[in-house]
């Protein structure tokens, strides 16, 4: 009966809620000790030029390493950290790990590649954030031109004036700003119109295969996005390139850069260095 189903739903709901709350509490009690114990690890995914330029940079992606060596992935904890404010601390920590890596490359006689670090939308409400970033960069003697800050397009729903103020402050210091997951939200064009950004990352969803009928439609839309980005002096990156077809599409669209499993997965900074950072031939 309806009555019965209703009760069952409530029982499930309570059970799930109970588990969710328990999980949340458990993560929240672990996050500060984890930061202290350096359990948040810098993983890097290579980014390539689409005209055979080879490696042009890397994206920093956090992995939470449990004491038993297993990893927790961002989707399990980033949304919670966004909610409870811990994300600002974690993001600064990840910027520091990126700077540490850049310094290590320089110390080893290697030419560093720029690293893109994902940032919480909360950075836009903290007026000290640009200075906090600079303090870290100065400590490792890293130029802001080597750090790109990736922000999500959803940030534009916040105070636009404050947003532009922060972007200008970060630009004045020399950071590059990238708009991540572009096309995933519903205010994409509005954002592009109002914000002064340097790079646009097309959401992986754009590349997902849809029915053949939609192919042409999708192509036309993507082509125009890449074209107006180019005219605005904004670099384009395609994320989630998984196949040869994806790559060919991205090349045909004249996208500047690409990342994805077709090239390589995110890996530990150590593995990245071994695989991609070669001594300059002299």
Binding segment for ligand C2E (CB under 6 A), chosen from 49-57, 114-122, 154-162, 250-258, is: 114-122
Interaction pattern, residues 28-57, with Mg ion; x per rule: CB under 5 A? ------------------------------
Q: How far apart are CA 36 and CA 17, in angstroms?
A: 29
Q: Which does 120 bind (CB under 5 to 8 A by kind): ligand C2E, Mg ion, none?
A: ligand C2E
Interface with ligand C2E, residue 96, by CB under 6 A = no
Rg, C-alpha atoms of the chain: 21
Residue 210 tokens read as: 């849809």
Interaction pattern, residues 132-161, with ligand C2E; x per rule: CB under 6 A? ------------------x-----------
| Cβ at position 2, least distance to Mg ion in Å | 40
Interaction pattern, residues 112-151, with Mg ion; x per rule: CB under 5 A? ------x-------------------------------x-
Residues that bind ligand C2E in the complex, under the rule CB under 6 A: 45, 61-62, 73-75, 78, 87, 91, 94, 118-120, 150, 180-181, 204, 239-242, 259-261, 266
């Amino acid at each position: 009966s309806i009555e019965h189903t209703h009760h069952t739903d409530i029982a499930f709901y309570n059970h799930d809620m109970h588990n969710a709350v328990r999980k949340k509490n458990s993560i929240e009690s672990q996050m500060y000790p984890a930061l202290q114990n350096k359990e948040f690890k810098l993983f890097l995914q290579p980014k390539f030029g689409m005209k055979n330029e080879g490696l042009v940079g890397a994206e920093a992606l956090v992995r939470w390493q449990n004491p038993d060596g297993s990893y927790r992935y961002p989707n399990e904890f980033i949304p919670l950290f966004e909610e409870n404010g811990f994300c600002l601390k974690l993001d600064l920590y990840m910027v520091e790990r990126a700077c540490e890596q850049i310094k290590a490359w320089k110390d080893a006689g290697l030419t560093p590649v720029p690293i893109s670090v994902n940032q919480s939308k909360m950075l836009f409400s903290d007026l000290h954030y640009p200075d906090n970033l600079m303090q870290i960069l100065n400590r490792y003697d890293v130029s802001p031109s080597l750090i790109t800050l990736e922000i999500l397009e959803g940030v534009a729903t916040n105070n636009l004036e404050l947003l532009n103020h922060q972007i200008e402050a970060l630009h004045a210091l020399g950071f590059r700003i990238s708009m991540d997951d572009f096309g995933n939200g519903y205010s994409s064009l509005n954002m592009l119109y109002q914000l002064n950004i340097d790079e646009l990352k097309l959401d992986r969803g754009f590349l997902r295969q849809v029915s053949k009928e939609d192919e042409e439609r999708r192509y036309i839309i993507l082509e125009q996005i890449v074209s107006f980005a180019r005219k605005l002096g904004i670099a384009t990156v395609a994320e989630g390139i998984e196949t040869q077809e994806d790559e060919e599409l991205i090349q045909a669209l004249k996208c500047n850069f690409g990342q994805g499993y077709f090239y390589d997965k995110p890996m530990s900074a150590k593995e990245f260095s071994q695989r991609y950072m070669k001594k300059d031939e002299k």
